[in-house]
Amino acid sequence: MMRITTDSGYRNLLQDIQRIAERMQTAQNQVSSGKKVNRPSDNPSAAADVVNIDSKRASNAQYLENAATAQSRLQIADSTLDGAERVSERIRSLALLAVSSNSSASSTVEEVSLLRDQMLSYANTVFDGQFIFAGSNSDTAAYVKATDGTVTYAGDSNAMKLQTGRASTLQTQIPGSQVFSGSVDIFSTLTSLVTAMNSGDRNGIRTQVARLEQFSQTVSTARTKLGGLINGAASAQSDLRQADLAETAHLSQLQDADLAQALSEFTQSQTALQAATAVGARVSSLSLLDYLK
């Protein structure tokens, strides 16, 4: 009877020692990793939440990158149209000068021709390997100049968009068909202007000046739209950063260990384990003596 009781107590003691060792190992893991959830078995519910939050943060990181890309692309488009406006205004000034002049000046016509090429360069602006005014055909030049000098639009009317949320997208550019060849085809206008200037056709020049003014209004409208899109991209980035901060805080609550508490738990468990081991040694010794008797 003594041996059965001793054996039962010994088994209980071994179980206590195992539980203490497990608590000590858990505390040690928390101290070394800084986390209180190191594996799903530590806290299945919290572990599932951690996986979910990590997934959300990964998606938000991609959305944030998309919004930043959109903002950069839109800013380049706006800067490009600012240059196009300046070129258009310079051409208009030269055209008005030609109207007031008694004879055409070859140097003035030559400058208009050069500015026409510069306008074409603006229309074919590239950002990150894509032609930003080509619509969805962004891998090829938006405008193509033929051997006879004719310029045609090779893009489409689709506005490219990027995902900035689970159910939200952001337009990243304006197709050239809405700007350079919209209500006014700036390239045919400039071709006609050069022809009128070469022939001294003042009425023809005035007609193209009016079209240049209409083109400037089109560009101004496009830039207003771009400004709204740029603000939208900035707002999307701000919202995504705030969302990530909230998710990070939630993740910290789920994962981060209380190091002071973990260290205290480790020390207490270590002390308890030493005491239990000492008791186990005495019980084992007594059991052996009892057996020998």
Domain presence at residue 46: no
CATH code assigned at 189: 1.20.1330.10
Identify whether residues 111 and 11 lie together within a single domain: no
pLDDT of residue 223: 97
Other C-beta atoms lying within 10 Å of the C-beta of residue 127: 18
Identify whether residues 93 and 141 lie together within a single domain: yes
Domain presence at residue 44: no
Identify whether residues 7 and 86 lie together within a single domain: no
| Rounded mean pLDDT, 204-210 | 96
Identify whether residues 22 and 155 lie together within a single domain: no
Domain presence at residue 83: yes
- 224-234: pLDDT as tens digits: 999 999 999 99
Identify whether residues 209 and 97 lie together within a single domain: yes
Using 50, 70 and 90 to split pLDDT, how confident is the model at 250?
Answer: confident
Domain presence at residue 221: yes
Identify whether residues 74 and 191 lie together within a single domain: yes
Identify whether residues 8 and 133 lie together within a single domain: no
Say which residue the tokens 């400058």 belong to. Answer: 111
Using 50, 70 and 90 to split pLDDT, how confident is the model at 157?
Answer: very high
- 35-52: pLDDT as tens digits: 656 666 666 777 787 788
Identify whether residues 176 and 213 lie together within a single domain: yes
pLDDT of residue 289: 45
Please give the residue range of the domain that contains residue 91: 52-250
Give the total residue count for the chain.
Answer: 293
Relative orientation angle of helices 106-123 and 44-100, to the nearest 10 degrees: 170
Domain presence at residue 41: no
Domain presence at residue 283: yes
pLDDT of residue 52: 86
**Which of these ranges, 14-23, 143-152, 209-218, 255-264, has the smallest mean pLDDT?**
255-264
Mean pLDDT of the chain: 83
Number of domains making up the chain: 2
| Rounded mean pLDDT, 94-115 | 84
Q: How large a percentage of the chain has pLDDT more than 70? A: 70
Residue 73 has pLDDT above 50, yes or no: yes
pLDDT of residue 107: 82
Identify whether residues 212 and 74 lie together within a single domain: yes
Using 50, 70 and 90 to split pLDDT, how confident is the model at 184?
Answer: very high
- 3-15 burial code (b ≥16 CB/10 A, e <16): eeebeeebeebee
Domain presence at residue 201: yes
Identify whether residues 65 and 106 lie together within a single domain: yes
pLDDT of residue 281: 61
| Rounded mean pLDDT, 55-64 | 94
With a CB cutoff of 8 Å and minimum separation 6, the contacts of 200 are 103, 104
| Rounded mean pLDDT, 52-64 | 92
Identify whether residues 104 and 217 lie together within a single domain: yes
Domain presence at residue 131: yes
Token couple for 254? 């789920």
pLDDT of residue 79: 97
Token couple for 232? 């939208």
Residue 24 has pLDDT above 90, yes or no: no
Identify whether residues 225 and 118 lie together within a single domain: yes
